[in-house]
Structure 1
Amino acid sequence: MRRQILAAALLGLLAAPAARAGDDDHERARHAVEAGRILPLVRLLAEIERRFVGQVVETELDDDDDDRWTYEFKLLPPSGRMYKVELDAATGAVIGTKGPVQERR
C-alpha cells in the first residue's frame, strides 16, 4: 500500500512541471495576442474555414527560436484525407501546406 501511495505521489510531482509549462505557454500566447504580436485564433479559424474545405480537427500554436509565431491547422475534408495548413500568426499569411490541400473556389 505504501508503494502505491509513493508511486502516486511521484507521478503527481512529475506531472506538475508539465502542467505548469502548459500554463506558461497559454499565458505567453495570451500576452502575444494582447500585445498585437499575433492574431486571435478565432479570426484565423474563420479565415481557414472560408478558404479551405474541411473541418479543423486540431490547432497548434508555436513560437520559433526567432520569436516567429505560427499556427498549424489540421483539416479533415469530406474525402477523409487529412491535410495541414501553416499560417504566420502575426499576419495570417499561409506559410505552407502538407497533404492533399483542398481550397474553396
Structure 2
Amino acid sequence: MVQFTFEATVIHWRGPSPFFFAPLPMNHAEEIRRLSKLVSYGWGVIPVDATIGSVSFYTSLFPKDETYLLPLKDAVRKKTGITAGDLIFVEMTPRPPRR
C-alpha cells in the first residue's frame, strides 16, 4: 500500500459527538479517493494505520467537505499532547479493513 506523510492543523469537531481530527491535504484526498474502492468497508470510510510522533494507531478516515478527516482518539492525543490548533506531522498507510 501507499504511505502518505503530511502536516495538518488539528481541528475540534463540536458536533453531537465532540472529537478531534486532522484534515488531509487536498492532494492526498484525491489519491485516497482513487484507492477507496480497494480499501473502503462502506460509507466511504477508509481504514488506515497512522503514526504521530512515536504513537502508532489504527483508525478510519471519514469523508468530509471534499477531503478526509483522520480521527485523533483521546488515547493518541494524551500520549502526544495534541490539542486543537496544533500543527502535527502524520505518517499514514491505507489498509484493507479488519474483519
The two structures have a TM-score, normalised by structure 2, of: 0.30
Considering fraction of residues, name the structure with more strand. 2
- Of Structure 1 and Structure 2, which has the larger fraction of its residues in helix? 1
Structure number with greater CO (CA < 8 Å, separation at least 6) is: 2
